[in-house]
């Protein structure tokens, strides 16, 4: 089945979607929703060049870049119960309260004047038509985004409901692969080589193809190519498959796999453990979030996804990341371990499974406590000690963003919160339990960090710094600064919130005072009509745009 390409604009930005005519309708809809960066509550409208609304379906008429369709996010889906209150918050008023107020005004005026004035009729009509409009959202289901939710809460989403839209397109992958292969022949400057080894390295400055070159450099500069007889084409093919298997999501994307290398150099680990263990650690870090869909284990388990079923609720994601890694390695053309002995391969596989599974945060205390207990007698030649060190170090790298300079770390936090909020929105929509730390109504940027740094980062980083004292300066100090920064931000936000509350209270008191002295009169909104749903309330925070191509070899 040949695929068709649909050209369209969204927020003035040109986009194109590719799918086959036999692609499921829901997947096509999801594709457009992803392109619009629309939330699960949003409704999309697609217009043709004549300005007519057309159906988002696999049957869409192919067009050309010159006759692009226009995609718009028009409104929030407010037909489901939990969204009623959200809508009230978004609109700044509650429709039912307004109706009640109108009723009481009408009664009062009827009693006083003997008949209903026309202005009250007019307002009543406006409220009614607005309600009708909101309640008939289901009739827009042909547009593709209305979701039928079961009121019993047993609604079961498709396990990979969101998956396809997050996947990289073939064009995207091929373009990156070409650039990567072209760039990989260039020699990387000594300056970049050294910079890459530091914890201040700024990942936001590099495009995907450049990151692949840097990953290749990691394998080269740690001497893995010669020690383990890795052919360059095989390494490049492996890195390309890794790139392909990271999804386009805000946080757990290809950029995030890039975290272990600096720590290996910082701790001078090469002088302490075998090269095969270093190869295990670097490859585990590179693969540790493969095919992450942006929804954590709690979601997988609560939504009873295919992953949760397959892995019996035991670290479904981490098991999946690891399985995808070994699926990639199964193909000889990707298998960077293909020249290893069976013994060596067994050792790497065992190590990678341990390391990747250790990134499940529910195992945090177990691994940290074990590390603490062996620390006083730590011996680099003891296999159990070394296994635990490798797990601890991949954990540290996994959550090490806060140890980076603020202009590198803060965009990462924005991305993480965006991914969290996407998940909690989906959980609300599906009637699933919502973790408070992911809830956009409960979490602020600083509040998400202060507790995490105090209770998770510090205890972990401090223990590792006991074994490698120079981490104090390179990792602990920056985290301390980050804690101060977010503590200050938290205080400022608290202050602002209190001031807002005080202002609202005094305004309310002043209003009540004037209500008792002036005559009761229904007021028409300034623009003569009721506010429209959607608009700015549907806009979402955006991840920082990665800067455009910087040259590796200058």
Q: Which residue's CB is nearer to Zn ion, number 241 or number 398? A: 398
CA neighbor of 421 nearest in space, from 404, 440, 407, 403:
440
If you write DSSP's letter for every residue of 500-515 in order, what string do you get?
HHHHHHHHHHHHHHHH
Q: Which stretch binds Zn ion (CB under 5 A): 50-58, 105-113, 134-142, 393-401?
A: 393-401
Give me the least distance between CB of 397 and Zn ion, in Å please.
9
**Is 253 labelled a binding residue?**
yes
Q: How far is CA 74 from the centre of its chain?
A: 23
Show the binding pattern over residues 272-291: x = contacts Zn ion (CB under 5 A), - = does not. -----------------x--
Subset of residues 289 to 308 that bind Zn ion, contact rule: CB under 5 A: 289
**Is 289 labelled a binding residue?**
yes
Q: Which of 41, 162, 245, 252 is catalytic?
A: 252
Q: How many residues bind Zn ion (CB under 5 A)?
A: 2
Q: Which residue's CB is nearer to Zn ion, number 359 or number 538? A: 359
Would you count residue 398 as binding Zn ion (CB under 5 A)?
Answer: yes
C-alpha to C-alpha distance for 508 and 522, rounded to whole angstroms: 18
Q: Which residue's CB is nearer to Zn ion, number 144 or number 250? A: 250
For residue 9, what are the β-bridge partners? 14, 70
Structural tokens at position 255: 């950029």
Give me the least distance between CB of 289 and Zn ion, in Å please.
4
Q: What is the per-residue burial (b if ≥16 Cβ within 10 Å, else e) of 503-515?
A: eeeeeeeeeeeee
Cβ(338)–Cβ(234) under 8 Å? yes
Q: Which residue's CB is nearer to Zn ion, number 210 or number 289? A: 289
Per-residue CA distances from 280 to 284, 287, 296, 383, 459 (Å): 6, 10, 25, 14, 25
Q: Which stretch binds Zn ion (CB under 5 A): 25-33, 80-88, 379-387, 392-400?
A: 392-400
**Is 551 labelled a binding residue?**
no
Give me the least distance between CB of 353 and Zn ion, in Å please.
16
Would you count residue 77 as binding Zn ion (CB under 5 A)?
Answer: no
CA neighbor of 231 nearest in space, from 336, 330, 348, 332:
336
C-alpha to C-alpha distance for 311 and 321, rounded to whole angstroms: 12
Give me the least distance between CB of 393 and Zn ion, in Å please.
13
Give me the least distance between CB of 320 and Zn ion, in Å please.
13
Catalytic (active site) residue 252: yes
Q: Which residue's CB is nearer to Zn ion, number 398 or number 410? A: 398
CA neighbor of 219 nearest in space, from 318, 337, 342:
337
Would you count residue 86 as binding Zn ion (CB under 5 A)?
Answer: no
Cβ(3)–Cβ(499) under 8 Å? no
Residues that bind Zn ion (CB under 5 A): 289, 398
Residue numbers in the known binding site for Zn(2+) are 256, 288-289, 398
**Residues carrying an active site annotation:** 252
């Amino acid at each position: 089945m040949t695929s068709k390409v649909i050209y369209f604009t969204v927020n003035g930005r040109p986009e194109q979607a590719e799918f086959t005519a036999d692609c499921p309708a829901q997947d096509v809809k999801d594709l457009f929703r992803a392109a619009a960066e629309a939330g699960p509550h949003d409704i999309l409208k697609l217009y043709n060049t004549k300005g007519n609304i057309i159906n988002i379906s696999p049957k869409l008429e192919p067009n050309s870049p010159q006759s692009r369709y226009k995609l718009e996010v028009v409104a929030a889906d407010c037909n489901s119960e939990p969204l009623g209150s959200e809508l009230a918050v978004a609109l700044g008023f509650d429709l039912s309260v307004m109706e009640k107020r109108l009723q009481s005004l009408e009664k009062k005026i009827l009693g006083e004047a003997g008949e209903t004035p026309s202005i009250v009729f007019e307002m009543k009509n406006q409220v009614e038509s607005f309600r009708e409009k909101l309640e008939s959202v289901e009739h827009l289901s042909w547009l593709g985004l209305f979701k039928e939710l079961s009121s019993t809460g047993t609604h079961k989403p498709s396990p990979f409901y969101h998956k396809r839209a997050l996947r990289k397109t073939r064009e995207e992958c091929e373009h990156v692969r070409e650039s990567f292969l072209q760039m990989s022949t260039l020699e990387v400057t000594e300056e970049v080589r050294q910079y890459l080894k530091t914890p201040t390295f700024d990942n936001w400055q590099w495009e995907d193809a450049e990151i692949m070159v840097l990953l290749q450099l990691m394998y080269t500069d740690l001497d893995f190519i010669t020690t383990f007889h890795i052919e360059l084409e095989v390494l490049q093919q492996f890195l390309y498959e890794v790139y392909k298997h990271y999804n386009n999501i805000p946080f757990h994307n290809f950029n995030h796999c890039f975290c272990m290398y600096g720590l290996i150099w910082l701790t001078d680990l090469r002088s302490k453990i075998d090269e095969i263990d270093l190869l295990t650690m670097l490859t585990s870090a590179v693969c540790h979030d493969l095919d992450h869909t942006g929804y954590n284990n709690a979601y997988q388990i609560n939504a009873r996804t295919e992953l949760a079923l397959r892995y019996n609720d035991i670290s479904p994601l981490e098991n999946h990341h690891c399985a995808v890694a070994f699926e990639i390695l199964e193909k000889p053309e990707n298998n960077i371990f293909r020249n290893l002995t069976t013994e060596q391969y067994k050792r790497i596989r065992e190590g990678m499974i341990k390391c990747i599974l250790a990134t499940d945060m529910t195992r945090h205390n177990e691994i940290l406590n074990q590390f603490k207990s062996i620390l006083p007698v730590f011996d680099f030649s003891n296999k159990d000690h070394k296994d635990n060190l490798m797990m601890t170090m991949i954990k540290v790298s996994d959550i090490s963003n806060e140890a980076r300079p603020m202009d590198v770390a803060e965009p990462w936090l924005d991305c993480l919160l965006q991914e969290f909020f996407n998940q909690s929105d989906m959980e609300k929509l599906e009637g699933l339990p919502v973790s408070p730390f992911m809830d956009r109504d409960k979490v602020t940027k600083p509040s998400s960090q202060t507790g995490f740094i105090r209770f998770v980062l510090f205890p972990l980083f401090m223990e590792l710094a006991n074994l490698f004292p120079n981490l104090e300066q390179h990792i602990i100090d920056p985290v301390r600064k980050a804690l101060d920064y977010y503590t200050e931000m938290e205080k400022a936000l608290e202050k602002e919130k209190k001031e807002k509350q005080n202002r609202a209270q005094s305004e309310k008191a002043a209003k009540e005072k004037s209500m008792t002295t002036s005559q009761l009169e229904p007021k028409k909104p300034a623009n003569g009509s009721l506010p429209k749903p959607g608009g700015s309330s549907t806009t979402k925070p955006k991840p920082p745009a990665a800067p455009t191509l910087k040259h590796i070899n200058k």
